[in-house]
Structure formats: structure tokens, C-alpha cells
Structure 1
Amino acid sequence: MAGGIKMIESVYSSQTHGSTSSVLVKIPKNVRQVGQVNDAKKIYVEDYVMSFIKKLGMRKESSSELVVLLGQFVKINNCQCIFVSGAIELKGVIYEDNLVFTNEIWTNIYETIKQYFTNVEIVGWSIIRAGLPLNVDERVRKVHVDNFAGQDKTLLLYDSLEREEVFYVFEENKLKKQDGYYIYYDRNAEMQNYIITLREEHETAKPYSIPRRPKTVEAVESAKQPKKEVLTKKRSALVYGIGAMAAVVVLVFSASILSQNDMKLNQKAKTQDVLSENVKSGAEGKSVQSGGGSEEQGSLPVETAPGMLSVVTDSENDDTLTEKKVSKESPEKNKKQVTKKQESKPKKTKKEKAAKSASTTQKYYTVKKGDTLSSIAVKLYHAKSYTNKLKEINNLEDSDDIKAGQKLLLP
């Protein structure tokens, strides 16, 4: 519907039905259709009015609410249009069968209209209740006729439980259901002021609050304040949770590092124990070997492995010490002392030297169960040709005449 100002005919209540008067009516620009609208008869409801009715339905302390609808009957291009631009709550009036408004109720209605609204008349009424049947029976029709008689007077039924609404229009002595209606959007300062007044009277209740258009800037700030406090609490809880998780991670990481360090320390301790045992066993072996004597005198047999140090005799140690002393003196004296020493030393024969070298480099192999001379030759020298050498050096007549635990001299 195009917006603008048009001169149209306005038709009023049944008392003036048939008479018309020309008034200036502003056609709404922003319109939203709900359901299937009848082209011959249209209902336009301002958004604040519909929001007010639905908020009243959110009350839990009351079984039902009654509202008087205000607006204008307007005829546009042979179409009867009902504009609902205001609504008044009937305080203390409960819907029941055979309900008749008293003079006191009507007086309060007209005083409220005079206080808050201008250029409006009563165009209908509304019943609001949770679980309200949306069909009209004879009892509802009788209450409508007794209190809101007149052509095109409107009835709005709103079920706050299912959040559904239905409009009825009275014509031909019947309440006829309308399949749809329009919602239009306007500043509607009069309805806003009325809602704000009710909100101030009911500070503990929320059905009259207007979140879209608060009265003042202070009201906006006060509405934002609780949200800020909630957000601050949520952030604090989040920061606390993150800190706790970080502490747990640090503890787990520290525990893992400590356990690894303990394992490394244990391994080092074991290695040191093994090394100390090896050193001790090596020292015992040297002491046995340096003690001299044959196996018959109780000394332990010692095997010389390749690369190990040979035993140094006491005479050799004396020679070494003597050489060190000589090196500290002057070169000429050193030469004389070395010459004297060499002359004083008895010369060793070739046999003695060979016996000494053989005694210091001889190697042995301990026979294991299942060994033969040929298998030992292959195992140690990777060649069977060493079988005869092993046989000769150990004075064996038969190559298989060896026993487990026997020690063989190696070539």
C-alpha cells in the first residue's frame, strides 16, 4: 500500500452508522501481511498494540486478560478497513459467561482514552488466556453483543500458550472469522506513553517493557548493565579455568621431567656400580698375576686377550724409575749412567727373550660343549687350515680328542 495523506470517508460506531465524515488519514508505509486477507474487509493492527497484547499473555498470575481495542473505521476504495492503533488493559475485570461492563468500568475506559489517546474510538475488544479456544460460541457472542454491539466491531482471541491469534468481525449479527490481517509500523507515541506508564506502575513485572524503544538514555544504560556484569563473570570463570588447566599441564610436565631424571640417575648409578666391579675385578686379577708362582702354588690362571696390557715386572719398574731419574740430570751424566747401566745389566739370550715374549703374548681358548678343532679354527680364523696348527701347538694326537672346559693354546 503506497504511503501518503489521502482524503477518505470515516465510518464510526453503530450509533452513527450510515453517516460519514471526511477526515485526513495517513496510510501506513511499512506493512506486513499475516495470513490470507479479505479484500472486502481489512484489519490493520499497529505493531506496538500487538506486542502489548502478547506481553500481557505472558503474565502467570492471572487466568485471563481483557483489553479494549482503539482506532478508526475507515473506508478506502469501497473497502471497509479497521485500523487498531491503541489498546487499554481492563484492570480487575475477569472474563466470564454473561459478563456485562458496569458504568464504573466504562467510566475508567473513557477516562484512560481521554488521558492518553486522541482521535480514536472503541473498535473492539480482546480476550487473552493460556489455552484459550480460538473458536466463538454463543456465550462469547452474547458478551460481545451486550458490551460491543455495532457493525464491524472486532474481537481478537489470543492463546498465549500456543501463541496463536484469530480476528473476528461482527456483521449480519454474527462474528465472522477473518483469515488474515495486516501489521503496520508507526512511531505511535500515544501507545508508547501508555505502555511506559503501566511499566512504571508494575516495576516488578515485565509484560509492559519496550526493548526496542526505551524512554531515556539512562534506561538503555541500566538495561545494558546486568549484561555487562554477566559477561564479566563469564570472562572471570573462563580465565580461572584456563589458569587451572595451565597449572595442571605444568605439573604433569614437571612430573615427567623428574621421572626422566630419576631414570637417568638410576642408569648412571648402575653404570658406576658395573664399572667399579670391573675395576675391582681387574685389580684382583693383577694382584694375582703379579704374585708370581705356578698354578701348582695356588695362583689363578690368567688369559691374555688381544690388546690388553702385559704384566710389568719389578725389575722393569726399577729400570723405568732409573730412566726417569736420569732424564732429570744433565745430558752428559744421563749418557754415562745409561752406559753404566747397560754394561751392568746381564745380556739376555735369545731363548730367554722368546720365552718372555711367548709368555706375555700367549692366548688360550676354553673348549665349549660340541666344539672340535676344525669348528674352533673356522670360528676364530675363518679357515680350516688352522686345525693342524691347533693340533701341533697343543700336542694332540687326535683332532677330536678335546673336552668341554679344556684350555687350548692358540697359535
Structure 2
Amino acid sequence: MIEVIYKEEKKTAQGNDEFFHIPKNIRQIGLISDACKIYVEDYVYTFLGKIAAEGKEKGKLALLLGQTNWKEGVSYLFVRCALEISDTDATPEHIGFTEEVWKKIQEEIGVHFQGQQIIGWFFSYPGIPMEITQVLQKVHQNHFGGSDKILFLMEPAEKEDAIFRYENGYLNRQPGYYIYYEKNPLMQAYMIEKSKNVPMEPEEQVADTAIRNVRKIIQQKKEKKEEESQRKSSMVTYAATACVAIAALTVGINFVNNYQKMEEVTEKVEEASVQSKEVKKEVEPLPTASPAQKDPTPTPKPEISTTEKEASDKNQLKGAGKETMGKVASREESDEAQEKTEKNSADDAKEESEESSSASVHESYVIQPGDTLFKISMERYHSMDAMKEICELNDLSLEEIIYPGQIIVLP
């Protein structure tokens, strides 16, 4: 089926505009014949599809009403209304248009579609082929004679339709037709009235065991899906809780490690301070001996003879010279050793004092979240050269990670 939509009809009628006009807002279904152009109003097409869908187990009949015009050898058929025909047989084997049916049709036309002429009929049946049978041909010749009457066939299941036009004694299928859109108050009012007269179907009363079992199975499957969904959500919650616990444990371990390192650094600083104080106490000036202590009172010597005295004097002179030389050398060595000891002690005391004084002027800093050695060096000293000195003071390496809460000493 070919469908083409036109927003505006390019060709307009000439010479007899006072009798009919060509719709401008149209939709093309299939190909259009040059000899006959068929226009079906949208309300009519919708109504026919609706009654066909209602008759999926039986046939449906309707009368097509509208207008027929000619222009320059071309016939124009306008299907503006459709009247449903009920209370009659409608099967592929028999279609009953009795006198009673026609009488009722005329009455309803006078009520709903006064002034409209009959231009054809509509027939739908489940599984009907889109071709003309002998029954359809006979019904059309007996009740819808004339070269401009049409038959609209529709199959409700496949929603297939076709329009046939009677010409040269036979119903010929048309290659296509138009659906046009215009105000159609007659058909609109008829459809509203038909919808009011449609009886409401009673509510379905399900008492069959098989249906109840099916519904029970569906309910069980639904409950099973809900249980699986709840189980999956609980597993996700458990996993999330475990991840949070692991993260908290990791943070706690890191905090403990940082605290231990902080205590170690504090202990080292305290030990250095204590050692500095001890060195200061040890390095004190030694007491000097008084002249009285250096020259004790001499003891009296026994008297000796002159010869012995001379020999003794000579020996004493010699011994005194040696002794004096020895004492002088020993005194010089002792003084040098004492000077060296005092110098070393003073140097050690000076170094310890410098270390103690340097340790006392160093600033303690608590590591904050996001801190790095590079960041501290740049913020405090505006240079990355201070990183090395910070590492030396805190016994750290440049690659070592620092943690929030850790205390370090800054130069």
C-alpha cells in the first residue's frame, strides 16, 4: 500500500465550482486512477475501521453516503457519511438486503444524513480476501446498480482494505483513493450517538480454576522477583558496609602509626634536650691549686759530713738537674693534656649547646590533610630546597609518605 500526504491540492476544479470543491488537506492511499478519483472523509474511514474491529467473529455492513460529480470526463466520488446496517445476515455466503432492511435504512438516513445520496456499500468479514466473489457481485448488481457505485471491502484482522468500482458490468478494484480532512458535523454527531447506544459489557467473572491457578503462578513469580530484588539490595548494603568498615580500619591503623611516629619524634627531642643539659653540667671549670698547696713546708734533713755533703751536693745537683728537667717535661706534658681535655670538653659542650639551642628553636608542625613535604617546603620557605633539611631533622626520606596528625620539626 502506497501512502502519500498532501497539504494542499495543486489542481482545482474549474467550470463547476458551484457544485463541488476538491479538498486540499488530503492523504493518498495507493495510486489514483485518471478516470475516477475517490475521496473518503477521515471520520468515515475511522468509523468503518471501528465497526470492522468489533466484528472479528462476524460480518459487518454499512451504507456509504455522499456525492458524485463529473468534470472533463473524470468522475469524483466523495464518501462523507457511513450508516451501519444491523439486524441482517452478513457472511461471504449470504448478505441480506431485505425490504425491511431498506425501509429502516431510509428512516435512519432521514434522521441522520438527510440530503446525502447513496454511492455504495461497505462489507467486512474475518479472513475475507480482497477480491470479488459471485455473492458480492450479485448483491452489488441487485441493490447498487450504476457505474459510479462502489464497494468498500475490509479485513479486520490484517486491517487490509480495497475499493471496487462498478464499470462495464463488473466490479473492478481501484488502485488507490484519498482520505481527506474536513469538518463533518453529520458524521461526528452520528458517531457520538452510536457510542452512547453501545451497551456496556458486564465485568468478567472469573470462576475457572485454571485461570485462578494462572494468576496464582503469576503472583508467585512476582513475589519471587521481589524477594530476589530485596536479597540483591541487602547484599549491596552489606558490601557497602564492609567497604566502609575496611576504610575506617585503614584510617585508624594509619592514625595509630602516625601517633607512634609522633611519640618517637617527641622522645628523641626530649632525649636531645636532656643530653644537652648533662653536657653543660659536665663542662665546668676545674679548681686551681693555691700557692700554699703548691709549696709545702720542707722537712728538716739530717746532718751529714763535709765530704759526704760535697758528694751529696754534687749528686743532688745532678739529680736535681735531672729531676728538674723531668718535672719540667712532665709538667709541660700534663699542661698540654689538660689543655687538650679542656679544649675537647669545651668543644663538645659548644656542639651540644648549639644542638640544644637549635633543637629548642625548631618549630613543631602537625601534618594536615593534603599536606606533602613539597607543599610544606613551598608554603613555609618558598623553595623546595627546604625538603632535604626537613627530612634530615625528622629522620625521613624524600619518598616517605606523611600522614595527617603526624608531628614533624621544621627548620
Scaled by the length of structure 2, the TM-score of the pair is 0.50
Q: Residue 270 of structure 1 aligns with which residue?
A: 257
1:154 aligns with 2:153: no
Is the contact made by 1:168 and 1:176 (CA closer than 8 Å) also made in structure 2?
yes
The 3 A distance-change label for structure 1 pair 6 and 203 is: farther
Partner residue of 2:79? 84
1:92: Cα distance to partner? 4.1
Report 1:211-360 matches (<5 A). Answer: 262-273=249-260, 309=275, 312=278, 316=281, 351-352=337-338, 354-355=340-341, 357=344
Structure 2 counterpart SS, 1:57: helix
Query: 1:144 is matched with which residue?
Result: 140
Alignment of 1:102-251 (within 5 A): 102-202=98-198
Residue 48 of structure 2: aligned partner: 53
Asked whether the equivalents of residues 59 and 90 of structure 2 are also in contact (C-alpha less than 8 Å), the reply is yes
Query: What CA deviation, in whole Å up to 9, does each residue of 1:50-89 have, x standing for no partner?
Result: 2221233333764332111112332322333322111011
Count of aligned pairs between the two proteins: 260
- Listed one character per residue, the Cα deviations across residues 224-262 of structure 1 (whole Å, up to 9, x for unaligned) are xxxxxxxxxxxxxxxxxxxxxxxx99x97x998886565
Structure 1: which amino acid aligns with 2:337?
K
CA separation of 1:121 and 1:280: change in aligned 2, threshold 3 A: closer
CA RMSD between the two structures: 4.7
| Larger-gyration structure (1/2) | 2
Compared CA separation, residues 184 and 274, structure 1 to 2 (3 A): closer
**Distance in 1 (alpha carbons) for counterparts of 2:254 and 2:149:** 99
Q: Structure 1 or 2: larger helix share?
A: 2
SS of 2:278's equivalent in the other structure is coil
Are residues 111 and 58 of structure 1, via their aligned partners in 2, closer, same or farther at CA, if it must alter by over 3 Å?
same
SS across alignment from 2:29: strand
Distance 1:355 1:268, change over 3 A: farther
The alpha-carbon deviation at position 38 of structure 1 amounts to: 2.6
Secondary structure in 2 matching 1:83: strand
Q: How far apart are residue 271 of structure 1 and its match?
A: 3.9
Say which SS state the counterpart of residue 152 (structure 2) adopts.
Answer: strand
Distance 1:36 1:280 in 2: 102
Cα 1:98–1:65 change in 2 (3 A) is closer
Distance 2:268 2:74 in 1: 122
Q: Is the 8 A contact 2:90 2:96 kept in 1?
A: no
Contact 1:37 1:180 in 2 (8 A): yes
Cα offset for 1:90? 1.7
The one-letter amino acid paired with 2:36 is K
- The answer as to whether partners of 1:6 and 1:27 remain within 8 angstroms in 2 is no
State the match for 2:58 in structure 1: 63
The answer to whether the 8 Å contact 2:56/2:125 transfers is no
Q: CA deviation at 1:204?
A: 5.7
CA contact (8 A) 2:58 2:90 kept: no
Q: Which residue of 2 aligns with 1:40?
A: 35
Q: CA deviation at 1:156?
A: 0.8
Q: Secondary structure at the match of 1:124?
A: strand
How many angstroms apart in 2 are the aligned matches of 1:281 and 1:37? 105
Unaligned runs of 5+ in 1: 9-23, 206-247, 287-305, 321-337, 362-411
- Whether contact under 8 Å (2:39, 2:178) holds in the other structure is yes
Separation (CA, whole Å) in 2 of partners of 1:156 and 1:191: 18
What is the CA deviation profile of residues 5-26 of structure 1, one whole-angstrom value per residue up to 9, with x for unaligned ones?
Answer: 9378xxxxxxxxxxxxxxx444
Summarize the Cα distance change of 1:91–1:269 in structure 2 as closer, same or farther, 3 Å threshold.
Answer: same
Distance 2:145 2:80 in 1: 20
1:2 aligns with 2:12: yes
| Equivalent-residue separation in structure 1 for 2:21 and 2:345 (angstroms) | 133
Q: Which runs of 5+ in 2 are unaligned?
A: 1-10, 202-235, 295-333, 349-411
Shift of 1:121: 2.0
- Deviation track 1:171-215 (CA, whole Å, cap 9, x = no partner) reads 33311111122333321211111112112223869xxxxxxxxxx
C-alpha distance 192-281 of structure 1, shift in aligned 2 (>3 A) = closer
Secondary structure of the residue that 1:175 maps to in structure 2? strand
| Change beyond 3 A, Cα 1:103–1:53 | same
CA gap 1:80/1:311 in 2 versus in 1, 3 angstroms = closer
Indicate conservation of the 8 Å contact 1:5/1:25, yes or no. Answer: no
8 Å CA contact 2:151–2:165 kept in 1: the answer is: yes
8 Å contact kept, 1:99–1:143: yes
